[in-house]
Amino acid sequence: MTSKLYLSLFFGLLAMVQLSHAEVENFKPSFPKFYNSSAERKANNQLYYLGEAKFQDHVTLPFYGVTAENPADGDGEKLIRDFRKCTDETCDFKFKLDASQAKQLKLLAIPSIGLTLVPRHWQEIQANAGANGTGYALIMSPDQQQAIELSDSAFCVGCGMRPATLFFPKLLKQSVEYEYGGYQDRNKLLTVVYPAKNVAFFSYQIPGLPYKTHGVAKYQDDGDFNFREIQVTFNPQQTNQQHTNQQALVTTILNFYHYSH
């Protein structure tokens, strides 16, 4: 299945079902999986070194651009390369990053998603961009037991409002009225904190896993509705290359997402 077909199913057909039934489903968390082969990911989701990203106190780390299959037909470009080499303006971030953590991380620029920090040794990446601007990315550990998952609904209201209702229940009534449906956490699996009315920091436990998923969800509704989120599932007991705290890396990844989105 190509990225274009996948996004059509993920965003397009899903929206059509929502319009038809406007169902309110119970939240049932599951661990993400790649839908395509490693060979397909290597062909469509290539990494290009852009330079060194600079953070406060002269902390640096490598910065890469990620390609995605071009959803537009007939323009002659198979892959989207939505990134440029570093300049002082584009790769300088006013964000406090611990120097020891920086040795464990790299920065990615992903089409239709934007920036995210990921563990430096993670190489398995699936990134998809839709013709309507929607984006999805899944980055996984070498053993595919840990994951970072991101999505952005762009200006596809039906694509964004439905998943947003899980973290922002006040949107559920409107989403049902628009026939998008929604989600409810009837089993009280979510723990959510709201630093702002349109920002949610959340955590939950996937059945069968002894460790939690943590994430950040955001929405905007200033004329064009947009929903975006990141979900990070790390094993805090697993030793990384520098024997540093995995949970501390999760916090840094989420804080940078909040800062940059």
Distance separating alpha carbons of residues 55 and 147, to the nearest angstrom:
24
Residue with tokens 């349109």: 198
Alpha carbon distances (Å) from 181 to 13, 132, 175 = 14, 21, 6
Number of domains in the chain: 1
In this prediction the pTM is: 0.90
Q: Which domain holds residue 106?
A: 3-260
Strands 68-69 and 60-66: unpaired
Which backbone phi and psi does 4 adopt, to 5 degrees? -65, -45
Residue/partner pairs of 207-211 with CB below 8 Å, 24 or more apart: 207/29, 207/30, 208/31, 209/31, 209/233, 211/235, 211/236, 211/237
Q: What average pLDDT score do residues 72-86 get? A: 82
pLDDT band of 85, cuts 50, 70, 90: very high
115-138 pLDDT tens trace: 999 999 999 999 999 999 999 999
Alpha carbon distances (Å) from 11 to 18, 196, 207, 231 = 10, 27, 26, 18
Q: What average pLDDT score do residues 106-119 get? A: 97
Write down the pLDDT at residue 240: 53
From the list 109, 107, 63, 75, the residue with the least C-alpha distance to 4 is: 75
Q: For the chain, what is the mean pLDDT?
A: 89
Alpha carbon distances (Å) from 189 to 28, 60, 146, 207 = 9, 37, 20, 10
Write down the pLDDT at residue 87: 85
Do 136 and 10 form a contact (C-beta atoms < 8 A)? yes
222-244 pLDDT tens trace: 888 999 999 999 998 765 554 45
86: CB partners within 8 A, 6+ apart: 50, 51, 52, 53, 63
Q: What is the DSSP letter of 12?
A: I
In this model, does residue 250 exceed pLDDT 90? yes
What the block records as the tokens of 80 is 């989207």
Do 51 and 63 form a contact (C-beta atoms < 8 A)? yes
In this model, does residue 1 exceed pLDDT 90? no
Give all strands (DSSP E) within 15-134, no chain letters.
Answer: 24-26, 47-54, 60-66, 68-69, 79-80, 105-110, 114-119, 124-129
Write down the pLDDT at residue 175: 96
Q: Is the dihedral of CA 87, 69, 249, 238 positive or negative?
A: negative
pLDDT band of 6, cuts 50, 70, 90: very low
